[in-house]
Amino acid sequence: MDRERLDRPVRLAVVEDLPVVLEGMHSWVAADPLKRVEIIASGDTLEAVLDGPGADADVILLDLELNGVLMIGRIPELCAQGRRVVVYSVHEDEETVLNVLKAGAATFITKGESSEHCLETIVAVARDRPYVTPTMAGALVVADASTARPMLSAREREALLLWFQGMNKQSVATRMGITEATVKQYIERARIKYASTGRAAPTKTTLLARAIQDGLITPDDIIEYQSLAAESGH
């Protein structure tokens, strides 16, 4: 992440078709004493937002359902453009959460989350930090006991845990006493193993979701890291 993004408010574009929700988001941002976020564009379609100032947003807050149409199919397109997408929705079932993450969204929050969780999520995503909201955690841990779980080695599990907690691959390598190339191999092996069970995890967020489902890492592990990161200002 570049220093500019650390030293200024996160630029947010909001794509939402309900005026009352837009007003609420503006109110939350304005009331934040830390002034961590500024809304630079908002509208009820992606085109209306991204064809203007929203093109320069650090994070896009995307309502999952706009004008009666689910937006999951648009998420890969946005991610391919290098955009960080946070999906915001009233739909919070496990299947929807996983489909959103599989499509490439950075994370998922529901419209029932508190203003603090919402703002913390936006800031964390802009800073490329993991952030698991209570609702997302609840959806991910409700996994079917019959779900096929891949057999990961102890070193693969360790590499994933450190990576999920916010370390980059080089830092993980240093902590584990191995090369960065080996860390990448461990992560890729984990992805291959998940894919072989029919539970593909092409993105870091999806892999995190699978790991939470399987008990490799708990939401508390991520929440603890989030708290430490917030206290240190990183």
Predicted TM-score (pTM) of the model is 0.69
CB 63 within 8 A of CB 88: yes
Q: In whole angstroms, give the CA distance from residue 176 to residue 167.
A: 12
Is residue 2 very low, low, confident or very high in pLDDT (cuts 50, 70, 90)? Answer: very low
**pLDDT of the residue at 230:** 53
Q: In whole angstroms, give the CA distance from residue 32 to residue 115.
A: 9
Residue ranges per domain, the chain?
10-233
Torsion of CA 120, 123, 124, 125, to 10 degrees: 120
| Mean pLDDT rounded to a whole number for the chain | 84
Instruction: List, for residues 180-205, the tens digit of each pLDDT value.
Output: 988 998 898 888 888 877 788 888 88
Q: In whole angstroms, give the CA distance from residue 34 to residue 38.
A: 11
Superfamily for 10-233? Answer: Response regulator (3.40.50.2300)
Would the pLDDT of 231 be above 60?
no
Which helix (H) or strand (E) is 60 found in, with range? strand 59-63
Would the pLDDT of 219 be above 60?
yes
Tell me, rounded to whole angstroms, the distance of Cα 80 from its chain centroid: 15
**pLDDT of the residue at 117:** 87
Query: Nearest-CA neighbor of 156 among 127, 189, 130, 118?
Result: 189
Query: Nearest-CA neighbor of 173 among 157, 162, 165?
Result: 162
Least confident range from 39-48, 112-121, 201-210: namely 201-210
Is residue 17 very low, low, confident or very high in pLDDT (cuts 50, 70, 90)? Answer: very high
**pLDDT of the residue at 3:** 33
- What is the per-residue DSSP string for 121-150? HHHHHHTT-----HHHHHHHH---TTS---
Instruction: Please state, as a whole number, how many other Cβ atoms lie within 10 Å of the Cβ of residue 222.
Output: 22
Least confident range from 68-72, 191-195, 223-227, 229-233: namely 229-233
